[in-house]
Amino acid sequence: MDKILIRGGTPLQGEITMSGAKNAVLPILFASLLTDENCVYKNVPDLKDVSTTVKLLENFGVSTKKDENTLHVLAHNIEKPLASYDLVKTMRASVLALGPLLARHGYARIALPGGCAIGARPINLHLNALVSLGADISLNEGYVTAQAKKLKGTTLCFETTTVTGTENIMMAAVLAEGTTIIENAAKEPEIIDLAQCLNKMGAKIEGTGTSRITIEGVSDLKGVEYEIMPDRIETGTYLVAVAATGGEVVLHNGEAKHLQSILTKLTQMGVDLDLSVKNQIKIKSEGKLKSVNIKTEPYPGFPTDMQAQMMALASISEGTSFIAEHIFENRFMHVCELQRMGAEIDIHGNVAQVKGVSHLKGAPVMATDLRASVSLVIAGLVAEGTTEIHRVYHLDRGYEALERKLSQLGAHIERVS
Ligand code: EPU
């Protein structure tokens, strides 16, 4: 199994380009199931989750063709609307097949994802919402089977904001009869990206980015050419890495407007940001930062997907930081590993109290999920000595060319088998 070796202590310098967003491209790829015409996506990141999605789509009978960062998807026929546990267990976003398969094909059978390293993550809200659109849902042998001759528009309200839940229902409702209104919808930029793509395919969706989304059902959708938005979490991750090591870096294709909560916290901690050039973020850090308090929330609040990275940064910032996790119940798996590198962190329920230390020390550490893994990379970049990160396959799920991009900035990082 591969591991990553990092020799810490080098300030990051230079320029890199951000990739397409994982959490935007996944729902958009599933949206291809809604049309029998060709869909062409640009700026598709080369990630494990993307290849898992492609494999799932191919299992349904869809043909795909990849040409560097462009992906062609043609769902001419859906032969087998079944997502097996083998694939679903490696990527929870597989549940996003449910809405589009049901809308186009009237039937879907998807393995239940089960819990994962960051929490229980049930899909009850997706299923309840599909039932209110008229789907007949049954659960047995670890699979959810959904059927509907024709979904019917309705008004529904999510009990808790759910990102993929909102996306799944949006994709189900675009081909439903009549109008669907989603109340308490999630407002993440990736939802807007999906809606823009669907609208380009002929859907009629309004209100994304607010808590009420209106979808007027249409009879069919056509093919599309669409460019995936930049990854705001990847961008935030590199910003935190530079903040931690010190240095001066320009991130191209970075969309500052999607990163406000992160940029505000980094500025409070003492980082210099220059946003004067469109689609570009310039960051300068002396590597000597102040503590910060963070509470994760649905967008536009501070993203849970940046919590672990900020914890690594808080570990070496002066003073005591409080980091509260409000989205997932078990997203502190990185804490024990950061402690092994010398971080001083106490957990009180869903709050981590982080006392900044003057330096971290390299150690062998174990990655547990995507964002936890990258927080260990950040810790490794600032630590004295060598950090050895095991189970790096988590990183390949969500960071395109991580070692190449960091090496380009001068980091001493390599992957060994
Ligand atoms: N929830 C339920 N029932 C449901 C759905 C959600 O109780 O049916 C709960 C969850 O357990 C959680 C909360 O609602 O406590 C919010 O979860 P949400 O449904 O919004 O998460 P998700 O859609 O499964 C997406 C991202 C995650 C990101 C979260 C929160 C994708 C593919 N995944 O997950 O991304 O953390 O939203 O922003 O978009 C990552 O990229 O590392 C990642 C985990």
Q: What is the pLDDT of residues 57-86, one digit of tens each?
A: 999 999 999 999 999 999 999 999 999 999
φ/ψ region of 65 (left if φ > 0, alpha if ψ in -120 to 50, else beta) reads: beta
- Ligand 1: residue whose CA is nearest its atom 43: 305
Query: Which ligand 1 atom is at minimum distance from the Cα of 119?
Result: 11
- Ligand 1: residue whose CA is nearest its atom 39: 23
- Ligand 1: residue whose CA is nearest its atom 29: 163
Distance of alpha carbon 387 from its chain centroid, rounded? Answer: 25
pTM: 0.98
CA nearest to 19, candidates 42, 40, 35: 42
Catalytic residues: 116
The answer, yes or no, to whether residue 233 has pLDDT greater than 90, is: yes
Q: Find the 121 Cα to ligand 1 centroid distance in Å.
A: 7
Pocket test for ligand 1, best of 162, 232, 330 (most atoms within 8 A of CB): 162
Distance of alpha carbon 345 from its chain centroid, rounded? Answer: 25
Ligand 1: which residues within 6 Å by Cβ?
Answer: 22-23, 26, 93, 119, 121-126, 160, 162-165, 186, 303-305, 327-328, 370-371, 398
**Predicted confidence band at 268 (pLDDT cuts at 50, 70, 90)?**
very high
Distance of alpha carbon 148 from its chain centroid, rounded? Answer: 30
Average pLDDT over residues 47-55: 96
Q: What is the pLDDT of residues 276-314, one digit of tens each?
A: 999 999 999 998 899 999 999 999 999 999 999 999 999
- Ligand 1: residue whose CA is nearest its atom 35: 305
Q: Find the 386 Cα to ligand 1 centroid distance in Å.
A: 34
What is residue 368's predicted lDDT score, i.e. its pLDDT?
87
The rounded mean pLDDT for the chain is 96
Q: Find the 135 Cα to ligand 1 centroid distance in Å.
A: 22
- Ligand 1: residue whose CA is nearest its atom 40: 305
The answer, yes or no, to whether residue 379 has pLDDT greater than 90, is: yes
Q: What is the pLDDT of residues 345-373, one digit of tens each?
A: 999 999 999 999 999 999 999 988 999 99
Q: What is the pLDDT of residues 177-224, one digit of tens each?
A: 999 999 999 999 999 999 999 999 999 999 999 999 999 999 999 999
Pocket test for ligand 1, best of 121, 329, 399 (most atoms within 8 A of CB): 121
Total length of the chain:
417
Q: Find the 356 Cα to ligand 1 centroid distance in Å.
A: 30
Q: Find the 117 Cα to ligand 1 centroid distance in Å.
A: 13
Query: Which ligand 1 atom is at minimum distance from the Cα of 370?
Result: 42
- The span from the CA of 124 to the CA of 120, in Å, is 11
High-pLDDT (> 90) share of the chain, %? 93
Pocket test for ligand 1, best of 327, 334, 374, 395 (most atoms within 8 A of CB): 327
CA angle 44/265/337 to nearest 5° reads 75
Q: What are the CB-based long-range contacts (under 8 Å, 24+) for 138-143?
A: 139/112, 142/85, 142/111, 142/112, 143/85, 143/109, 143/110, 143/111, 143/112
Q: Find the 55 Cα to ligand 1 centroid distance in Å.
A: 22
Query: Which ligand 1 atom is at minimum distance from the Cα of 126?
Result: 8
Q: Is the peptide bond before 230 cis (omega within 30 degrees of 0)?
A: no
